[in-house]
Chains A and B, each alone.
Chain A
Amino acid sequence: MIIQKISQLLFCTLIVAAFECNAGDLSADVGKGANSPNNVDGSYLEVGGGLNIGTEIFYGIPEGNRHGKIIYSLEPSVNLRMQNNGWFVEAFSASFEAFTLGYNLSNSDHWSLDIVGLQQHPEISSRTSKDLKGVRPRHFDFMSGPRATGYLGNYIVQVHALTDVSDKHNGQVLSAKIAHHWQYKNWNIHAIGGVSYRSDKVADYYLSVEPEDATEKFPEFHAQAGFIHMFEVGVTYPLSQQWVFRSSFQHYELESQWSDSPLLASTHASKLLTSISYVF
């Protein structure tokens, strides 16, 4: 029961994070203090656990979530990257992107161009939370498109242009992020700022409530295209050659015109994530 609850929480965190913005290996790279693309063939794995404290944006995800509710969760942390002949898989728990599949088209000392595919939006249905009973199910999507990442000294910039290939909403997501890292003693400090655009179709599919589906609890609402702004500051510290400590604070601001969507608990969320990982 507890394991099921934890796995539900983890799943919710990953999918909700995916909706809020995407940075994927940007978070992983800036946390490591990387100055060049990490896209050579090979594999890399970190496993650990940590404590997450904060608020979430979707109503009832995780179950019981409401406006301003602080959610505590102990969660496993998996950071993974595998690449073979240009094909890669990335997973970084503390990132805004939970899981990315991709193909590396081009790379140089400072730039990397990939085609990526990833889930961007969560399932919103009574299957994921009893709080959503009576809501017309919105299914998780799978979006694909180019991703360019530039490593310019201690700055990393990344842009995504994604389109839905799962035929769920046929919408688009465009995002741009900039990250910077500093070193103080053996602490690696980073900051990420970004903005992400959700097209009409994305916003409508996940946030609108059609008149025929409207209830007292979930009244009619029509969502239009909008932006999500995000910010993160964090630290990474090597406890030993195998163990790494991480802590980060993330904040998201969703388009204010979505504030009346009954499917959102809030248009802003903040989280503090702290973890310890073993690097294989």
Chain B
Amino acid sequence: MYMKENKRQCQTVFIRRYKLVLLLCVSLFSLCNYANASSNDTQLFIKPARCIALHQGQVCYQTLKIIWQTDIADNYCLLQQGNNTPLLCWEHAASGTGNVEFANHTSVKLILVRTRDGQTMTEFMMEVAWVYEANSHRESHWRIF
């Protein structure tokens, strides 16, 4: 009995410490150029917040580091808006980390959803930028001095 109680106390202390460490990490990451999206009690940090392609219209590739945290442990997935295939999922978790290989030619929303009811916990706009603008569409024409 005493052993069980002791074990529970240890687990509680561990979870508290783990949460403290996670909170510390989240705070540090927010100071280290991570972009932050928060909604209610859910926080989502993504680094880098922008993907830079050379030319407008090119697919931009970027490895994104994801950190999120919420109050209630549940099953969550990170989705790209307009695509139902999850980028990453976590089970029975109130926080999570992971890497996502981003590849897109336009800015897109990344959404953290609770899988059991599809509720959006928070969302983040992943921006795609470029160095060189694409030329605007032009009609064929001849110039005269």
Contacts and interface: CB of A to CB of B under 8 A. Distances in A.
Interface string A59-91: 000000000000000000000000000100000
B61 A109 contact: no
B143 A109 contact: no
Interface in B86-145: 129-132, 134-143, 145
Given A33-B54, A33-B55, A188-B54, A109 B138 contact: yes
B138 A186 contact: no
A183 B134 contact: no
A34 B55 contact: yes
Contacts of B137: 109
A185 B54 contact: no
Interface in A205-264: 236-238, 240-242, 244
Given A183-B58, A236-B54, A106 B132 contact: no
A37 interface: yes
B139 to A, nearest CB: 8
Nearest to A36: B135
B140 A186 contact: no
A103 B143 CA distance: 9
B35 interface: no
A109 B55 contact: no
Interface of A: 32-38, 40, 86, 103-109, 183, 185-186, 188, 236-238, 240-242, 244, 279
Interface of B: 50-55, 57-62, 129-132, 134-143, 145
Nearest 6 CB-CB pairs, A to B?
Answer: A108-B140, A33-B55, A185-B61, A106-B142, A238-B52, A86-B143
